[in-house]
Amino acid sequence: MPAQRSIAEINDRLARGEAVVMTAMEFKKEVRSGYRFKLGDVDVVTTATRAVMSGTSAILGVQVESGSGVRRIWMNGVPCMIAGHGDGQIDVAVHGTAESRDFPAGYGGGHLFRDLVSGKSVEVEWESDDGRSTSKAVTLSELPFARIYSFRNAYRNYSAFTNAKNRRSYREHPNTIFANRPLPYMKALTVSGSGELNPLENDPEARVIHSGMRILVNKSEGVVIGAGTRASHHGSNLSIAADMRGMDPEFMGGFKTRYGMEITNSVAIPIPVVDEDVLKNLSECLDENISLDIADLADRVPFTQATYADVWNGAALWVDFNADRCIVCSFQCPAEYFCPMSAISWREKSIDQTLCVACGACTANCPGGAFSGRDHAPRGRIGDVPVLGRIMPITYRLSNRRRVIELAAYLKQRMLDRSFFLADAGLPLRLSE
């Protein structure tokens, strides 16, 4: 029987303050420097991902005073689905991708969740069976229940998309969540995936990521429910849940796209090093070994590959606004217009870094070149990837490594502080072929 350790043993070591916890960044650095990890060197490696995560909803309990039944309900204009009512409380489900009727194309479920977590007051409006409309303001602390439920999150990396086939279906309907404007033929690439820091990439067979595992979602303690919708052995992903109380707004939020509202989340997962296979997977999971499928946007069928090193090696994790280069576009600042997080104010010549996800939409759309990735990033793009013998600019990057690094480090600290222990129900994920 190969050497192995149990989750309970590692928890024991955490409780005694003897456990060795490393972030994925620290672990990979050692691997690259030539160190070969042995079982017993490290107990837990913390991994994380932050990106657009479409499959996110919330279930909220709202107290309403209504003589008759409630027919329809909105929060800040975002339509809610009635899940149940009684005792003056309505349980509603809200999709992170739902769009507000009050601010179409500007506010959605993801914005609502961030506003609630920020402590802001939101307006609940409901229509009773008798046709009366009532509204009131609530804050998160006044909701008896508020939990994020996701049905598909934290993909084991993802794909890059370009317009490779110039299909008629795409030319006629260029709307997509993966790009903020129609992509020219083979001249722009949109990418997603946190590469070597991604939880499932570090545990590709889901040997230790199981149902019932304790995780962090936007810094709040949560749980892995199981495999997410469309999870397969090739593209695993998770269904997760976490209470909204305790979340950090900077790690989440609404995300405007060319095709409606989207939502971003951050997920951190501890990988317990229970046996040699887990250690081997962690050691082999390096950006340069992880292939990135490049697919046509119209049919989403991959036609070539690059690696995550092409995306993340030396990549800019911050975007800066050089006010001297702003040419004061007279009608509408394109960078401000295309910013999915509404982080840019051209009047104030500033980027709100608590919102910015460094997607690069501003770098690709500012005619004056006032926005650029910090350090070595080229102008007019957030990075480059070689595709079929040519250099293709990354014009849109939907994963945010800066927050990934912060979250993996935060989880490590929580474990060393003994405020976060491993949990595991031992139920493997159900992945389809």
Partner 1 sequence: MTAVPDVGGVHAGTGAFAEVHEARPAMSSSARINAQISAGTAEVLTLEQVCERARGGLPTGVDLVTLAFPVAISGSAAVFVVPIAGRGVFTRAERISINGIPGHPGPAPNERLGVVDTLIFADERRLDDRNYDGASLFLELLQGRVVEAECHSVEGTTHRNAFALKAVDFARFYVYNASLPAGAASIRYLRDALVPGTRIVLNGSQGIIVGPGTRDRPDAMALSITADMQDMDADLMSSEGGRPRHVVACALPVRDVATIAQLVEWTGSAAGEALSCPAALRAATGLQQLIQKGQFQLSETGPIDAKPAET
Interacting positions 80-109 with partner 1 (CB under 8 A): 81-84, 87, 89, 91, 93, 95-98, 109
Measure CA of the first residue to CA of the last residue in the chain; give whole Å: 28
Site stretch for partner 1 (CB under 8 A), options 127-135, 145-153, 275-283, 309-317: 145-153
Place of tokens 């910015």: 356
Does residue 231 touch partner 1 according to CB under 8 A? yes
Shortest distance in whole angstroms from residue 277 CB to partner 1: 17
Using CA atoms, how far apart are residues 22 and 413, in angstroms rounded to an integer?
10
CB-based contacts of 244: which residues, under 8 Å, 6+ apart? 58, 113, 116, 117, 140, 146, 147, 148, 220
**Residue of 23, 46, 49, 54 interacting with partner 1 (CB under 8 A):** 54
**CA-to-CA distance for 107 and 369, rounded, in angstroms?**
28
Query: At its nearest, how many Å lie between partner 1 and the CB of residue 372?
Result: 30
294 contacts partner 1 (rule: CB under 8 A): no
Q: For residues 317 and 331, give the distance between their C-alpha atoms in angstroms, rounded to a whole number.
A: 30
| Least distance CB 52 / partner 1 (angstroms) | 10
364 binds partner 1 (CB under 8 A): no
Alpha helices in 122-198 (DSSP H): 168-172
At residue 223, the 3 state secondary structure works out as strand
Contact flag: residue 249 with partner 1 (CB under 8 A): no
Between 388 and 425, CB nearer to partner 1: 425
Of the candidates 166, 160, 120, 177, which has an alpha carbon nearest to the alpha carbon of residue 143?
Answer: 120
125: number of Cβ within 10 Å = 17
CB nearer to partner 1: give 5 or 345. 5
Site for partner 1 in 298-317 (CB under 8 A): 298-301
**In angstroms, what is the minimal distance from the CB of 94 to partner 1?**
9
Q: Which residue has the tokens 């051209």?
A: 346
- CB-side exposure of 318: number of CA atoms within 13 Å? 9
Kindly tell me which residue out of 37, 113, 149, 337 binds partner 1, with binding defined by CB under 8 A.
149
| Near partner 1 by CB under 8 A: residue from 121, 135, 166, 169 | 169
Using the rule CB under 8 A, is 3 a contact of partner 1? no
Q: How far apart are CA 192 and CA 126, in angstroms?
A: 38
Binding partner 1 by CB under 8 A: which of 116, 213, 306, 398?
A: 213
Residue of 30, 64, 145, 329 interacting with partner 1 (CB under 8 A): 145
Min dist CB 177 to partner 1, Å, is: 6
Residues in the chain: 433
Stretch that binds partner 1, among 66-74, 115-123, 132-140, 169-177 (CB under 8 A): 169-177
Residue 133 binding partner 1, by CB under 8 A: no
173 binds partner 1 per the rule CB under 8 A = yes
Which residues in the 325-344 window bind partner 1 by CB under 8 A?
none
Q: What's the rounded Cα separation, in Å, for the pair 254 and 406?
A: 20
Residues 6+ positions from 138 with CB-CB distance below 8 Å: 62, 121, 122, 124
Near partner 1 by CB under 8 A: residue from 48, 183, 227, 407 = 227
User: Could you tell me which stretch among 38-46, 56-64, 280-288, 374-382 binds partner 1 (CB under 8 A)?
Assistant: 56-64
